[in-house]
Chains A and B, each alone.
Chain A
Amino acid sequence: MAAQSASGGRAPRVDRSEALAGYALIAIPMLLFLVLNIGSIFYALFISAWDWNIRSGPEEFKGLDNFTALLVDPIFHRAISNSLYYAVVWVPLTMVIGLSLAVIVNQKIRGQTFFRAAFYFPAIASSAAITILWIFIVAPDGLFNAVRDAMGLNPIFEFFGFDPRHNWIGNQETALNSIIILNAWTTSGTFMLFYLASLQSIPGQVYEAAAIDGAGPWSTFRHITFPLLRPGHFFVATVAVIGALQLFDQAAIAGGISGDPNNSLMTMVLYLYNAAFLQFDFGYAAAVGIVLFVIIFGATLIQHRLFGQAPSW
């Protein structure tokens, strides 16, 4: 590379051929991205303007009718409120658990690698299998109710209005919260990995300086580790919100395609699936998809504005 500045005439040619090499290499993936990702968004926009017969294509032009129908659909409102509630509760919860796990496994303890693998394992196990297992655990005669009965914790639960054989996933009040707890457990491993990467980029000298100044472990965490993790926080929060608003498989497996019981597990993506494959109304489903896109895009923009750019230390 140093050679390029030596002879002035040769420098631009080397740069141009390098640039061309770069373009050539990304040309195909970029084309695929433009067609399949960006192009499909425009295609969905096109579909949402029609009454779309899934066999023969566009049938009747509806313009914005699908969107206006969506705006007054009470089940869609429920889907949005469920998704937003899920995002607001699940994201901070999982971030806290992920961060705690990352701090724990970042220490030099025996079995460090084992613990990292163990905490991350639920994230890579099949979500369908875990959800079905979870349904058994929180069933009326499942593990959770049996354990709290054996531990004598039932009076506490009775105080909050849960009888000893409460059906946690089948009850409309507690179904969504059960899924939140399930996903907080399974996804905390992934966030642990993200935070671990950020944690390990914090230079050791900072901790040494803090130790010299007499900071205890909690002070160190509060004043040094936590603020220096801003890149991690930003990244995890953005990814988490996008993922939370797209919750589908656990809701579909636990509550069925119609969001039972009583729409308590109906999320936006499940509603899209319902509209597309139960009602086979592709135009309506495409409208749901566009609204979902707008909501997620808006949420990411808001996060970007509020928390600024991810700082690079």
Chain B
Amino acid sequence: MRRLLVLATAAMLVAVACGGANTSPSPDTSAAPPASVDPGASIDPGASATASGFDPTAISGTAQLSGWRSSPEEGEALTQALLGFPTEYPNIAVDYKPIAGDYRAVMITKIASGEVPDLFYVNAEYAGDWIEEGFLAPLDDYIAASGFDTSQFFDGYASTFKGKDGKTYGFPKDGNTIGMAYNTALVSTPPTTMDELLAQATALKGTEGIDTPICLNPGLDRGLAFLYAQGGSIVSEDGATEQISTPESAAAVQFYMDLFKDGLGKTAGDMGSGWCGEALGKGQVAFAFEGGWLDPFMTSTFPDTKYAWAQIPTGSSGSPVTISYTVSYSIGADSVNKDQAFVLLTYLAGPTGMEKWTAGGVALPSRKDVPIPAGKDVLAASSEFARPGSGFMTGYVDVQKAFQDTFIAQIQAGTFDGAAVVAATKTAVDAALSQ
């Protein structure tokens, strides 16, 4: 009897253990396509596109779409964009599963386990790295077979998603340039040059409850625009030579540092806000440097704060400049439904889908043949001279971290020494270029 009991318990434990041991260690995409994928096998995406042509209406199945959702407005805008898809391609079902939390970390675990969504966002910041590591599928065969028009993409955005082998690994789904948002109740005429900005900020300081008139980020995510405006740079145009230690760059870094030193600029955190958009909305500052994502945020969270857009003031370089950010839609090297994903890609990155998406006001179109959404004229006009704010060199994450860490150390220690920031950034740039 006891032996029977022992055997029964052991059998039960085996059943439980086997059921439990099957959970995969990576965060599971519960609707992952049932076909098993062997990550070790070399996958040729061109094989599934027919040699005689690519007929999107003949393809059926599911395409799993993924990405982040930075705000409810963004989710709403994408849902609107996706509504038009079944009308054109009724045979393909879209399974939209946004990833909450740390998108990059979750995607890394998905890539490591070989269960990637079919179509997903890739930020320009790490697009170069992901392309080099072989995470993304090249799209050239699909483009050739389907005849998708890629000529209308702004080159500044599209070039970020081309690999070193010259192949295309994604299409920019939108773009965003950094502009200067100013509180119209406090500023009547926006400054057009950096000197005017300094003058207006100095005049505003201390008045109408403004402690520091400008909200600034202590990193290159905004500082790069100021660097470019003053004629400085991180690396040369071809990305081969380090240029952060040139006299213009050093002077530009010190100029940015002096904004903090003179009490004209402060980080959002030091003002008790999560980011500069919040600081602007709360009325803590008169100027904030942000992108198009500010608009839906301000409309929904701070509707009473009236603001307007202006281009970033021209600096000593004399020419208008700003930085742009972009994100691509890409297909994973291990994605199962590549054909279906490409059809969805042509829709979302094509003129119809992109128009619906950018109408939500979260980002600007990355195609010339898509009309500019209302209220975005200033930001869209900046696309002409915008330089990439990320993804223009490998290892940029380390360069950014070195710059930001030293910059924060300097402003919190009260020494405000731009030379220290330049030195730390130069070390990081040299290390990145030598790899």
Contact = CB atoms under 8 A, between A and B. Distances in A.
A220 to B, nearest CB: 48
B104 interface: yes
Interface string A278-293: 1110100000000000
Contacts of A71: none
Contact of A273 (B105, B271, B272): B105
Contacts of A172: 408-409, 412
A55 B112 contact: yes
Contact of A54 (B111, B271, B272, B408): B111
**Chain A facing B: main interface SS:** loop
Interface stretch (B6-14, B75-83, B234-242, B285-293): B6-14
Interface stretch (A2-10, A20-28, A95-103, A229-237): A20-28
A27 B412 contact: no
A167 interface: yes
A27 B272 contact: no
Interface in A241-296: 257-258, 260-263, 273, 276-280, 282
A203 B270 CA distance: 54
B269 A170 contact: yes
B408 A261 contact: yes
A277 B14 contact: no
Contacts of B102: 257, 277
A282 B26 CA distance: 14
Given A21-B6, A32-B17, A262 B408 contact: yes
Indicate the member of A170, A260, A263, A280 with the most B CB atoms within 10 Å. Answer: A280
A140 B270 contact: yes
B400 to A, nearest CB: 9
A173 B408 contact: no
B90 interface: no
Contacts of A258: 401
B40 A54 contact: no
A171 interface: yes
B412 A261 contact: yes
A56 B113 CA distance: 10
Nearest to B105: A277
A37 interface: no
A273 B294 CA distance: 30
Interface string B131-152: 0011100000000000000000
Interface in B82-119: 102, 104-105, 108-109, 111-112, 114
A170 B39 CA distance: 42
A299 interface: no
B112 A171 contact: no
Interface in A38-85: 53-57
Contact of A28 (B17, B272, B405): B17
Interface residues of B, number: 40
Contacts of B16: 28
B17 A54 contact: no
A278 B408 contact: no
Given A32-B17, A171-B412, A278 B40 contact: no
B230 interface: no
A141 interface: yes
Contact of B21 (A21, A32, A141, A276): A32
B276 interface: no
A202 to B, nearest CB: 38
A54 B3 contact: no
B334 interface: yes
Given A54-B108, A140-B271, A280 B6 contact: no
Contact of B112 (A17, A20, A54, A170): A54
Given A28-B17, A55-B39, A57-B40, A262 B10 contact: no
B10 A27 contact: yes
B108 A277 contact: yes
Interface string A145-156: 000000000000
B271 to A, nearest CB: 6
Contact of B40 (A56, A170, A261): A56
Nearest to A18: B2
Contacts of B9: 24-25
Interface in B19-58: 21, 39-40
A139 interface: yes
A254 to B, nearest CB: 11
A142 interface: yes
B333 interface: yes
A135 B7 CA distance: 54
A21 B17 CA distance: 18
Give the 10 A-B residue pairs with the shortest CB-CB distance, closest first: A141-B272, A277-B105, A170-B269, A54-B112, A140-B272, A262-B405, A139-B272, A28-B17, A21-B6, A28-B13
Given A24-B10, A53-B134, 13 more contacts: A17-B3, A24-B9, A55-B112, A55-B333, A55-B334, A142-B272, A167-B270, A170-B269, A257-B105, A260-B408, A261-B408, A277-B109, A280-B108
12 contacts: A21-B2, A25-B13, A32-B21, A55-B111, A55-B135, A56-B134, A140-B271, A167-B272, A172-B412, A173-B412, A278-B105, A282-B112
